[in-house]
C-alpha cells in the first residue's frame, strides 16, 4: 500500500493571520493531491523571530489549546488529514518551541516541546524560555509518529531516544537560514544535506524535514526546502530551496499501523 505525505513550505510574513491563512491554503492543496499527512515547518504561524526579550516574544506564542489550534484542528477535521506543524507556545508567562500533530478528528494526539536550546540565545531567561524533557510517540492509523525540532536532530541522546522508540515516522520541522541570508542550493547540497542524512541514518527511521521560507529582513529569514529521507539516510524526495509549495511523496505504508481514525 502507498501513503501520500505532503511537506508544506509556507511563506512566513510578519502578519500571523496571513501566515495562518497560507497554512490552511497549503493544507487544502496537499489534500487535493491526495496527502493523508501534511507537515509544516517549525514556528510556522509566526516564524522563529523571537529576540530573547519576553516583552516582545511572549506575544508570538499561542496557547495550546487556543484560537490558532482551533483553526488547525478544524482544518484537519474538515480535510480528514493528519496535520503537523511547529509553533511557538505560550503557557502562562513561559514560552516554548513546540510541535503538534492533529488527527483527522481535529484532536491533538502529540504535543512536543523542543529540548535543545538553540531556538533562543544563551542569555534568554530560563524562567521564561522553556524546554521539553522527552521524546514521545503517538500511535496513529498511519503508524507511530515522533517529533524532533530542528537542532534536536543533532543531539546524540535525542537521536538515540528516537532509535530506541522505533517510530514509523520521524517529523522534523525546522527554521534554517544561512548567515548571509542567501538561498544557496549548491551550498546546502554540498555542506548541509550530508550532515542531515547522517543524523537520519543514526535515528534509523523514515524522516520528513521541512523548512519555511522568509526574507532576510525577518530576523535572518529562512531558505525553505523539504526532504524525505529513508531510514538509512538516503533522500527519497526533495523540494528546492527558495520556493513555497508542497512536496508530495508517495511512500510505502509501515507494517505497524496503529489505532486511530
Tens of each residue's pLDDT in the chain, 261 residues: 889 999 999 999 999 999 999 999 999 999 999 999 999 999 999 999 999 999 999 999 999 999 999 999 999 999 999 999 999 999 999 999 999 999 999 999 999 999 999 999 999 999 999 999 999 999 999 999 999 999 999 999 999 999 999 999 999 999 999 999 899 999 999 999 999 999 999 999 999 999 999 999 888 899 999 999 999 999 999 999 999 999 999 998 886 555 555
Grid cell locating 24: 490552511
* pLDDT at residue 28, as a whole number: 98
CA nearest neighbour of 259 among 141, 167, 102? 141
Q: Specify burial of residue 42 (Cβ count, 10 A radius: 0-12, 13-18, 19+).
A: buried
* pLDDT at residue 1, as a whole number: 81
DSSP-assigned beta bridge partners for residue 86? 99
Longest dimension (CA), the chain: 50
The pTM of this model reads 0.96
* Angle, CA 116 vertex, CA 154 and CA 183 arms, to 5°: 60
- Residue 237 makes CB contacts below 8 A (sequence gap 6+) with 227, 228, 247, 249
Residue 106's alpha-carbon distances to 22, 113, 153, 172, in angstroms, are: 18, 20, 27, 21
CA nearest neighbour of 161 among 97, 117, 204, 209? 204
* pLDDT at residue 193, as a whole number: 98
- Residue 100 makes CB contacts below 8 A (sequence gap 6+) with 64, 69, 72, 84, 85, 86, 87, 108, 110, 111, 112
- Residue 9 makes CB contacts below 8 A (sequence gap 6+) with 41, 210, 211, 212, 213, 224, 225, 226, 239, 243, 244, 245, 246, 247
CA distance 74 to 78: 6
* pLDDT at residue 256, as a whole number: 58
Q: Which CATH architecture has domain 2-252?
A: 4-Layer Sandwich (3.60)
CA distance 174 to 86: 8
H-helix or E-strand spanning residue 138: strand 137-140
**Contact criterion met (CB below 8 Å) for 69 and 83:** no
Amino acid at each position: 500500500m502507498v501513503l501520500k505525505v505532503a511537506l508544506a513550505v509556507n511563506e512566513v510574513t510578519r502578519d500571523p493571520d496571513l501566515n495562518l491563512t497560507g497554512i490552511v491554503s497549503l493544507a487544502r492543496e496537499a489534500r487535493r493531491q491526495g496527502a493523508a499527512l501534511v507537515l509544516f515547518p517549525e514556528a510556522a504561524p509566526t516564524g522563529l523571530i523571537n529576540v530573547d526579550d519576553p516583552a516582545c516574544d511572549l506575544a508570538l506564542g499561542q496557547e495550546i489549546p487556543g484560537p490558532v489550534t482551533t483553526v488547525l484542528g478544524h482544518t484537519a477535521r474538515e480535510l480528514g488529514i493528519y496535520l503537523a506543524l511547529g509553533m511557538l507556545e505560550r503557557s502562562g508567562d513561559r514560552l516554548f518551541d513546540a510541535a503538534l500533530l492533529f488527527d483527522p478528528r481535529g484532536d491533538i494526539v502529540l504535543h512536543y516541546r523542543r529540548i535543545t536550546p538553540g531556538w533562543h540565545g544563551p542569555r534568554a531567561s530560563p524562567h521564561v524560555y522553556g524546554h521539553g524533557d522527552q521524546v514521545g510517540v503517538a500511535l496513529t492509523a498511519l503508524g507511530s509518529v515522533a517529533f524532533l525540532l530542528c537542532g534536536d536532530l543533532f543531539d546524540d541522546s535525542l537521536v538515540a531516544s528516537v532509535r530506541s522508540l522505533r517510530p514509523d515516522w520521524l517529523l522534523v520541522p525546522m527554521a534554517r537560514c544561512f548567515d548571509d541570508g542567501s538561498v544557496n542550493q549548491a551550498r546546502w547540497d554540498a555542506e548541509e544535506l550530508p550532515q542531515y542524512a547522517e543524523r537520519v541514518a543514526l535515528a534509523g527511521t523514515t524522516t520528513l524535514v521541512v523548512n519555511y521560507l522568509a526574507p532576510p529582513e525577518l530576523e535572518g529569514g529562512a531558505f525553505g526546502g523539504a526532504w524525505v529521507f529513508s531510514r538509512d539516510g538516503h533522500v527519497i524526495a526533495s523540494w528546492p530551496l527558495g520556493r513555497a509549495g508542497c512536496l508530495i511523496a508517495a511512500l510505502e505504508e509501515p507494517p505497524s499501523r496503529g489505532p486511530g481514525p
